[in-house]
Each structure stands twice: as structure tokens, then as C-alpha cells.
Chain A
Amino acid sequence: MNTVETAGLNRLQAASAPYKKPLRNVIYPYLFILPFSLLVFVFFILPAIATIAMSFTDLNASMKPHYIGLANFKRIFADYNLPEILSHTAVFAILSLAISLLFALIISIATQYFLKGKVSAVLYRVLWLIPSIIPSVVYVTFWKFLFDPTEGGLVNDLLHRMGIISEPVSWFTRGAMAIVILATIVSTVSGGMILLSAAINSIPEDLYKAARVDGASEKSVIMKIILPTLKWPLMYITISDLIGFVSSYFFIMLLTQGGPMRDTTTLSLYAFQQAFNLKYYGYGAAVSLIVVFISFILTLLLIRLFDFDQLIKPSRIED
């Protein structure tokens, strides 16, 4: 059959049978997805499978894995460090989340509602963006310099000049967790701030005008107009930040290496240390799976808490 005949046949079929997409059109969308699917598979799905597999082995520096069943997981729950590390994780995640959410909320309401359209509002938000723009290593170095235990540290120097302290204070031994949380918050606030500001900005001007005509107080405007608008962005920020805090170890590692003692060691940092400092790859993988499990449970809880069903439920319009 030559091509002309094929075309004729196709036309005949098109006339009688229901329309069928040509194969090329069916394949097209998948062709576009393919390269990225490969990347995701190689760098995301494969490592995930490998981690799960590893957690059931005693893989260590010798690189000779043996299947040991649930021994790694039993070891975690028997680990005498676990309660301390879990409580550090909770304190770090909950405090960081609460404070950065509050800050993001206050800043975006202040700049997008009270100071809407003012240059100062824009400048202020740009200021908050700086910590998330500069490289993490530089950022951490700055915090280290700020709280340096010697006289050269910025805080020590300032307090000394003001005559509040006579001897330099070793901040990292006194309040390592506080410093870690502070550094984390300052760099996370901007993300939530951008999302919340955008959401507030999408509120039509007429609503504020109507509220003024109706004699609404600032409190009512914030509670009944602005905050309800922020529900979904808040849910997204809460979940993504919380997962981030539960599984993050980068700042802590650079700032304190989990010290002093284990004062700032969170579960994910512990997993990292077990796997890459002590080379207990199998055990580290098991601990990181626990981190994933905790994140998963928290996400489910939050979705339920925010009543996510409401968002995907279609609205009804009838006359």
C-alpha cells in the first residue's frame, strides 16, 4: 500500500468511525515529559529506593552490605540518644515554624495593607529578601561572626562597648539552639512573606472600600477579609516549611555541627552524621526514613487541620 492509498483509507475511516487522534499527537505530550521524567527517576526515585533498601542492611565503610531485617529500626528505638534528639527536632521545628509564620504574616499585612503602595513597604520587603539571596555559607559565616565567643564577635564587641558585659560571652555554649533557630527564621521568613503578600495583594480594592462604608474596624478587616484569604497560602507555607525544618540539617551543620554536645542535633542531622561521618550507611538510611515518615504524618495532619477538602470541592451555582 502506498502513502496515497493510506491517506485515502484514513479519510474513509475518519468518515465512518469515531474520530481517533493520530498516533503522533498521542505521543507528543509524553515526548516533552520524557527528559525530566528520566532526571527525576535517576536522581530522585532511584536514591529513594536505594535508601529504603539500605535501611534493611548493615552497609558501612567496608561497603559489604548484609541483609539484617528490621535490626536498624530496632536499634533506633533502643538508641539512648533518641529522646533528646527528638525533643531537639521538635523544639527546632515548632519554634522556627511558629515564629517565621508569625513574622511573615505580620510583615505582609503591614506592607500590603497598612503601607500598601508605599515605597517604604517595598524597601522593607526587599530587606527581608537579602538573607535568602546570599549564599548559605556566607550567611552562616555572618552569624558565626555575630556570635563569635571572642572579643572580636560583633555582639560581644557591641555589648562590651555599651558597658553591659565586661568579659566576652560564649554565645554558642549558652544558647546554641536559639542562635540556630534565629538564623533559620531570618532566612525563611521571606518565602512565606512573598506568598502571603501576593495573596493579600490579590484582594480587590472594592472590598476595602465596602468595608470602609460598612464601618469595619481594622480588626474586622484583618480577621474577616485578609486572614480568610490567606488560608490556602498559609497551609502551603506551613506544610512546606515544617517539612523543611524537620528534614533540614544544613544550617545546623554549618553553624554548630549539632553541638555543643548534642544540644542542637536534630533527627535529620543525626542521620547525616551516622551515615557520612561515622559511615554507618545502613543505620543512617533507617534514621532518615523515620524523618520522612514523621514529615508524612505531619503533612497529613496539617491537611486535615486546614480542611483541605474545602479547596478542592467544587462550588455550586444555581438560580
Chain B
Amino acid sequence: MIVCVAIVGHQNNPLYIQSFTEGDDALKLHHVVHCSLDVVDERVNNPKKSGPMLNETYLGLLYPTENYKVYGYLTNTKVKFILVTTDLDIKDADVRNFFRKFHAAYVDAVSNPFHVPGKKITSKTFAERISTIVKAFGLSSAG
């Protein structure tokens, strides 16, 4: 189950962060997302020299915490997408697919002429769309 998704701007500032838990760990998820930026930085600064990872937007599993797994995605404008999930075994393809949809939604949201680049995304439509994507991900990975 996806517990949190986040968009982080290129100054490492949160643009959008949404948790999907009933519990009380929203603040913890903030920490998890924030810490994952260290891994993104490391991956970006020391890119893997070999093979298909070059020029890849999908960063893969960033790090496992005690209860979560964190995945990352980096757009060409240095905007980071972070996904926090509780699923232990999760297919890479599913995550990639999720990020692709997430990215598309983000592009649509920032294409809004009333959106000021670099500011937080407050669009309700975007939030709804994200929660739909998250739900769909839960169904596909469960099934």
C-alpha cells in the first residue's frame, strides 16, 4: 500500500506531500521523504556508470526504513517524486508505471496558467487525480 507520495522542488523544498494513512505517522513520513533526498542527491552526484541507469528518470528503490520502502523519480527539471510504500515485494514495473502517471499528472498541474512555477501545488483536481492513481496502484499490485 502506498502510504505517501511527495513532489520535491529543485531547492529540495516540498511542493506537494500527501500521506494516505489512517494512522498517526504523517510527520514521520515527512521525515522519511526528507531523508530520501539524501539518497537522491547521492544517486545524482555519483551516477552509475554502466548500462541502462544512465539518463534514467526512475531512480529505483532509494532506501528501506524499518517499515517502509522509498522509491524515487527525478524529472529533467530536477523535480523529485518520492513514493513511500509498505509493500515488501513490489514489482519495479509497477512503480515505474506509477511514476509515469504521477509525472503526467504533475505536468498537467504545473501547466495550469494560474500556477506559479516553484510554488506548492494546491490544485484540488491534482490531489484527486493523485489519490485515484494511488488507489489504482493498490489494486494492481494487490491483484
A binds B: no
Using CB atoms and an 8 Å cutoff, list the residues of chain B in contact with chain A.
none
Footprint of B on A, CB under 8 Å? none
